[in-house]
Amino acid sequence: MIELCPVNELEEGQSLGFDLPGKPVFAIRKDGEVYVYRNECPHLGVSLEFQENEFLDLDGALIQCSTHGALFEIESGHCLAGPCQGDHLTKVDHVIEDDLIKIPA
């Protein structure tokens, strides 16, 4: 398993990026739940964030791609609007063990 971070480092309503070699991912906490996705827009495959660790739209309700503005549901990764509408982000399975967020190697 790969350790991303202590679970309490990811605060409610926040996102964090992890530049793992060959497998960039980001994590979000919403309503107490943790979600992890590959950091790749289904449109062009580019990374999504506006600035380091900023993956959400202005009100923190949706994931937004900084390149062409596609909007994704936090819970499902489903693209609601933008050039990849109907497509989805790639979800990454994770576990929380010993207060750490971990993903498969």
Shortest CB 45 distance to ligand FES, Å: 8
Query: Count of CB atoms within 10 A of residue 21's CB?
Result: 5
Closest CB to ligand FES among 9 and 87? Answer: 87
In the complex, the smallest distance separating the C-beta of residue 36 from ligand FES, rounded to whole angstroms, is 18
Q: Which helix (H) or strand (E) holds 96?
A: strand 95-97
Asked if residues 70 and 55 have their Cβ atoms less than 8 Å apart, the reply is: no
- Looking at the Cβ atoms of 18 and 72, the one nearer to ligand FES is 72
| Residue number, 1 or 46, with CB nearest to ligand FES | 46
What is the amino acid identity at position 24? Answer: P
What tokens were used for 18?
């992890």
- Interface residues with ligand FES (CB under 6 A) are 41, 43-44, 46, 65, 67-68, 70, 82-84
